[in-house]
Each structure stands twice: as C-alpha cells, then as structure tokens.
C-alpha cells in the first residue's frame, strides 16, 4: 500500500482516495511567460512518477495541470519583448508540451490555461464577496477585489504559518507576486480592474478586468475537477503564499478539503546555489542534451532521489548517474542471452523478488532511488549468474517481463 508524506498533516500517511480506485490529481504547472528549466522539470517528473505508479497499482488517474498565461509577470515580459502576451505564452507553452514528451512525462488529461477559466474566477469571486471573504477596494483608480485571510479559519495550515504573528494593522497587497519569497501578511488581490490603457482584459459581470494569479488555480481546479481532489502537487516554493491561497479560496466556498494529500517537491540547486538569471546558472533541457546527455539520462537524474528533498545538480553528478543507468541497461540486455536450460534456486528467488522489492520501495513515499538501487543489485547478480550459465531462459524471460512492467513507471530502462 502506498504511503506518502502529506504536507498538510506533516506526516507520512496511507494513500486512500475519496472514490475507490479513481484518483483526481492536481499539478501546479508553469508560468508560461518564461520557459521551463530543469528545476521545474524535477517537479513535473516526480508528479509523473506518482501518476504512473498509481496507475501501475491499479488506480485510474484523472490529472490536471495549470498553465499560468495571464499575470503581472507576463505583462512585464510582453512589454520587454514588445510582443503580445498571447504570442509569448503560446510559444513557451508549445516548448513545454514538446519537452514533456521528450522526457516521457504523460500529458495530463487537462492542460488548462488561466485565460480559459476567467468565467470561473468571476463566479468564485462573486460567492466569496457574498460570504464576506472578499471585498472591493479602490487602488490607484482601480476597483480591485481582495481576499481577507483572517476570515478563513485555518489559513496558513499548509505552510504552518504562526498566525499569532499576523500584523494587527490591515495591509493590502496589490500585485500578483512580489520579489523574493516573503509572506505577504495581509489581504491578497483576486481581481485587477482594467483601465483604458490595458489590453489584456475581459468584460465580465464584475466589470472589465483580469483575474489575479492568486485565484487562477482555484478557478481552474474547481471548473474541471470540482471542489475536491485526492492529491495536489507542486514545488516546495509554492508553500510560500500560493497553495495556501488556492486552498483558502476553494475551502471558503465549499467547506471541504480541497485535497486530502499535498505533496511538494524539493528545490533543484546548481553547484550548491539557487538557479537565477543573475548567476547565469539556469539550465534548460536542450543545454544538457547539447552536451551529449540523452533525455533518459536527464529523466533518470531528476527522479533518482527523494522527491521532497533538495537536490544538487552538477555535470559530474549527471555523468555519474548517466553511467549508472547505462550500465544497468547493458546488464538487462545480457539477461536476454541466458543460455542455461535451468536456473539455480538463487536465480529463481532473485527474479521473484524484482517486483516485490520495487513495490516495497515505491510504497515508501515514492523512493525511486531505493527502488532502482535494489533493482540494480539484483539484476547485477542475475547478470553474473547468466554469465556463468546458471540463469535459465524462462527465468530470464520473466525478469525481462517484470522489468518492462516496472519501466511503465520509471520510463528509463527500455
């Protein structure tokens, strides 16, 4: 049985879906004003492994990923490039979907742009205003809408905020996001009213404007999956503001848990430092492939570790894990050439333990590294037995078949 570390409770828990064998899964997707880098793909890959392992375990998964194509940063980038916002976001979205396929990441059932859920954002805002969680306020001539976190009991429960330290004086935050990663301890914006000079706007029941980043994921999720999903995923950085905002908006309306399980992937550092444009240490998939690494090498490096812990990228480490994967693949090829008519008892026991060992590790909070290392050790022994003609063809065939099943999850062996 799968056990996962639940950010919401701070404990490792048995995974039990709401609806039997059907799992609803939300993935916090990219902001398409810029290209996704390898740090982003580490998160999307752990989510892919989770989906594939759930399906391997007999569940049907309906998965949604959000695409943030309308936000302050997109408007700033459009001004910088002197291009329409839509042209920039569509370009980056196309690159993202292409790279998902290259990395063998399943395309989710729903890949939803924020711009396609404006109607739902307006619907949610109207309900929030009626319930007293949201209110209008004029700022620099704009009649915006804000959410008051203090009206929602349990605000900050994901990030484990100490609400006793919340400022007594009311403060309003007018931008979608702010530089760095501080908590905006105050009321956050849900709706930007448009003025005559604005060109990314919608005419709606609450006026002409655009939804703020803070309400977009809640709008997308509730429009396509409803007010309850089984599992919500994203990067650890989303614990600063974003996911607590999404949760508060949805739960203020429904009174139900938006997600019973929240899983967050750790950061990917480069040479021990955070990735940033100023440091020039941001890498894209094409950068690694240009140096001779395959997509399988990149996928394996990014999943070969505990997903929720920080991972450090160096080319030396990438080379080491790539060589480990390549040597494993060579051993798997040798299994197909087993010549003995009968296996030894040891060989038979090793073959039978491939699946059970894989499940034991994966059921322990998706321990891909433990699962792969266990497979490596066993396949190495089988390869040695095959070399000594102590592995029969039937067992070799069974081992290969089981590895094919396992690779439905890992996607790096064959």
Per-residue burial over 399-410, b = 16 or more CB atoms within 10 Å of its CB, e = otherwise: bbebbeebeebb
What is the arithmetic mean of pLDDT over 94-116? 98
Sorting pLDDT into bands at 50, 70 and 90, what band is 10?
very high
Look at residue 41 in the predicted model and tell me its pLDDT: 98
State the first-to-last Cα distance of the chain, in angstroms, to the nearest integer. 26
Look at residue 123 in the predicted model and tell me its pLDDT: 98
Query: What is the C-alpha to C-alpha distance for residues 409 and 222, in angstroms, rounded to an integer?
Result: 28
pLDDT, mean over the chain: 96
Contact 231, 274 (CB under 8 A): no
Q: What is the DSSP string of 176-209?
A: S--SSS----SEEEEEEEP-TT--S-EEETTEEE
Assess whether pLDDT exceeds 90 at residue 336.
Answer: no
Q: What are phi and psi of 217, to 5 degrees?
A: -65, -40
pLDDT in tens, 125-183: 999 999 999 999 999 999 999 999 999 999 999 999 999 999 999 999 999 999 887 89
Assess whether pLDDT exceeds 80 at residue 405.
Answer: yes
What is the arithmetic mean of pLDDT over 328-333? 96
Sorting pLDDT into bands at 50, 70 and 90, what band is 280?
confident
Assess whether pLDDT exceeds 80 at residue 407.
Answer: yes
In sequence order, the 6+-apart residues with CB closer than 8 A to the CB of 359 are none
Look at residue 87 in the predicted model and tell me its pLDDT: 97
Query: What is the C-alpha to C-alpha distance for residues 278 and 33, in angstroms, rounded to an integer?
Result: 18
Flag whether the pTM goes above 0.85.
yes
In sequence order, the 6+-apart residues with CB closer than 8 A to the CB of 189 are 144, 145, 146, 147, 172, 173, 174, 175, 176, 212, 214
Assess whether pLDDT exceeds 90 at residue 33.
Answer: yes
- The percent of residues in the chain predicted with pLDDT above 90, rounded, is 93
Q: Kindly state the helix (H) or strand (E) to which residue 34 belongs, with its residue range.
A: none
Look at residue 100 in the predicted model and tell me its pLDDT: 98
Q: What are phi and psi of 244, to 5 degrees?
A: -65, -30
């Amino acid at each position: 049985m799968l056990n996962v570390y639940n950010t919401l409770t701070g404990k490792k828990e048995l995974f039990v879906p709401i609806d039997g064998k059907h799992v609803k899964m939300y993935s916090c997707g990219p902001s398409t004003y810029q290209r996704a880098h390898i740090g982003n793909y580490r998160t999307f890959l752990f989510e892919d492994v989770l989906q594939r392992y759930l399906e391997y375990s007999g569940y049907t998964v309906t998965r949604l990923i959000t695409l943030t194509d309308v936000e302050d940063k997109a408007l700033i980038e459009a001004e910088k490039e002197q291009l329409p916002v839509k042209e920039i976001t569509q370009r980056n979205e196309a690159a993202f979907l292409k790279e998902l396929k290259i990395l063998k990441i399943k395309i989710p059932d729903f890949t939803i742009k924020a711009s396609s859920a404006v109607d739902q954002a307006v619907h949610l805002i109207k309900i929030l205003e009626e319930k007293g969680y949201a209110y209008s306020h004029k700022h620099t001539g704009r009649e915006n809408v804000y959410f008051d976190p203090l009206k929602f009991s349990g605000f900050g429960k994901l990030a484990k905020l100490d609400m006793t330290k919340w400022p007594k004086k009311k403060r309003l935050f007018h931008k979608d996001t702010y530089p760095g990663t501080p908590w905006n301890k105050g009321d956050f914006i849900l709706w930007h009213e448009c003025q005559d000079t604005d060109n990314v706007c919608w005419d709606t029941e609450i006026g002409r404007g655009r939804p703020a980043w803070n309400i977009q994921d809640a709008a997308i999720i509730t429009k396509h999956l409803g007010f309850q999903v089984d599992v919500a995923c994203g990067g650890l950085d989303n614990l600063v503001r974003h996911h607590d905002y999404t949760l508060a908006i949805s739960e203020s309306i429904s009174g139900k848990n938006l997600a019973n399980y929240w899983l967050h992937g750790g950061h990917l550092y480069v040479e021990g430092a955070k990735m940033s444009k100023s440091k020039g240490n941001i890498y894209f998939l094409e950068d690694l492939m240009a140096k001779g690494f395959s997509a399988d090498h990149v996928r394996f490096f990014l999943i070969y570790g505990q997903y929720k812990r920080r991972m450090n990228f160096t080319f030396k480490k990438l080379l080491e894990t790539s060589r480990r994967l390549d040597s494993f693949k060579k051993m798997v090829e040798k299994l197909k050439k087993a010549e003995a008519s009968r296996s030894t008892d040891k060989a038979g026991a090793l073959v039978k333990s491939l699946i059970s060992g894989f499940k034991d590790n994966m059921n322990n909070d998706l321990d891909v590294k433990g699962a792969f290392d266990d497979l490596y050790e066993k396949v190495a022994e089988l390869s040695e037995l095959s070399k000594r003609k102590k592995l029969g063809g039937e067992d070799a065939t069974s081992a290969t078949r089981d590895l094919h099943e396992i690779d439905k999850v890992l996607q790096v062996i064959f």
